[in-house]
Amino acid sequence: MARPLRIGITCYPTLGGSGVVATELGKLLAEKGHEIHFITHSVPFRLGKFQRNIYYHEVEVNNYYVFRYPPYDLSLASKMAQVARMQKLDLLHVHYAVPHAICAYLAKQMLGGAIKTVTTLHGTDITVLAQDASLRDLIRLAIHQSDAVTAVSRDLIRETRERLDIETPIELTYNFVDRRVYYPRECAALRAEYASPGEKVLMHISNFRPVKRVGDVIDIFARVNAKIPSRLLLVGEGPELSKVQWQVESTGLSDRVTFLGKQDDVAQVISVADLLLLPSEKESFGLVALEAMACGVPTVGSSAGGIPELVAHGTTGFLAPVGDTEAMAGYAIRLLEDGELYARFRAACLERARTVFDSDRITAEYERIYYRVLGIEAGAPVAERG
Ligand code: GMT
């Protein structure tokens, strides 16, 4: 292997799949001997216990009284430049374009160009924020100025090109899960707390934003439950929570639906389910469907965005157009009623998660990108660093 690298990683540390992927990537790279410096406003929530080769640099924001809005972006850019200089970083890998890719560009300017930058696009940074006229040109600039740009699905690459008229290369690097954490967990006792032996368990996990269409989840569940005695477990919280609680109550499903709130041990919780429901309006990837897949749980959901690249329709789950809850419920019933079909889907889930979305393979892809932008041959001998 070529020499280990010193890498700065910036992400949203407290929420979202992009923060999870960035943190898990940092942990895996650190295990491989690279030195990882997280530059974020809080400790990334998935960082866990102390790990060799991982450092954390907190971004402190100047709150001077003349500021109506404290300038977080400027503080982040300065911190990136400062950490890069002091820790002799080889590169900055930023997750989510706004403001991280823009801050990395500023940091690079402060360093006189003496750092490489890699940007990973995650979804709403393009599908939502790039539509905002006040951000569009900045996002475009940041993408053009990055030494490498990756995106988490082909669909997101297509959308980035279309929306921002970008011609520079954008590389596909799928999200992944750590197979040492995401595997089918023993859950008989936990399952018995929520469902009787003859009942099926459906689950939805999200941040309860409108884009997740949690109302559709309830609608699908009501249709499934009318045919097969089932339970619905809802994990997470967010702006739509009270509306969904009201919908559950008003449809007389309160004794069938449990709100579990935010949960840390997603692998354990998902293992309880027979099926994950993901009827999102937009989803560049849908990390939760991969987490479910790795635990042997098929997904029924929408064919929005990058979901079809992750969930193989008819093999590891079923997909229907956004809003078609009747079709989604029909698919769920078909899968839950046919034990043989279900067993095939479960096996296919485990296989697909272990191969296409394997963490070792995808970590190695990122390493190849890093070495390439640095002009280091991946097979080059280990050399001294300054
Ligand atoms: O949904 C968001 O806006 C949050 C964002 C994030 O930062 O986690 O989610 C996006 O990135 C995830 C990780 O790559 C993807 O799994 C999600 O599909 C994507 N969300 C959307 O495209 C709506």
Residues 6+ positions from 193 with CB-CB distance below 8 Å: none
pLDDT per position as a tens digit, 23-43: 999 999 999 999 999 999 999
Confidence of residue 385 (pLDDT cuts 50, 70, 90): very low
Q: Among residues 315, 321, 267, 320, which one has the least CA distance to residue 295?
A: 267
For the chain, give the mean pLDDT. Answer: 94
Return the ligand 1 atom nearest residue 209 CA. 1
Domain architecture of the chain: domains with CATH? 6-176+358-374 (3.40.50.2000), 188-355 (3.40.50.2000)
What pTM did the predictor assign?
0.93
How many angstroms does the Cα of residue 7 sit away from the middle of ligand 1? Answer: 23
Return the ligand 1 atom nearest residue 306 CA. 18
Residue 383 has pLDDT above 50, yes or no: no
Q: What are the strands, taking DSSP E only, across 242-306?
A: 257-261, 275-278, 299-302
Return the ligand 1 atom nearest residue 152 CA. 14
Mean pLDDT of 88-93: 98
Identify the helix (H) or strand (E) that includes residue 188: helix 188-194
* Range 88-126 burial, b when 16+ CB lie within 10 A, else e: ebbbbbbbbbbbbbbbbbbbbebbeeebbbbbbbbbbbb
Which of 285, 291, 293 should be mutated for ligand 1, with most atoms under 8 A from CB? 285
CA atoms within 13 A on the CB side of 8: 32
Tokens at 209, concatenated: 């934003």
pLDDT per position as a tens digit, 310-362: 999 999 999 999 999 999 999 999 999 999 999 999 999 999 999 999 999 99
Q: At what angle do helices 154-164 and 133-145 cross, to 10 degrees?
A: 120
Residue 378 has pLDDT above 70, yes or no: no
Q: How distant is the alpha carbon of residue 133 from its chain centre?
A: 26
Ligand 1 first shell, C-beta below 6 A: 12, 16-18, 21, 96, 122-124, 127, 152, 175, 211, 282-287, 305
Residue 379 has pLDDT above 70, yes or no: no
Tokens at 154, concatenated: 């082909």
Closest Cα to atom 12 of ligand 1: 17
How many angstroms does the Cα of residue 288 sit away from the middle of ligand 1? Answer: 10
Residue 382 has pLDDT above 50, yes or no: no
How many angstroms does the Cα of residue 96 sit away from the middle of ligand 1? Answer: 9
Residue 91 has pLDDT above 80, yes or no: yes
Longest CA–CA separation in the chain, Å: 68
Say which DSSP state 69 is in: S
Return the ligand 1 atom nearest residue 305 CA. 22
Closest Cα to atom 4 of ligand 1: 16
57 forms beta bridges with: 39
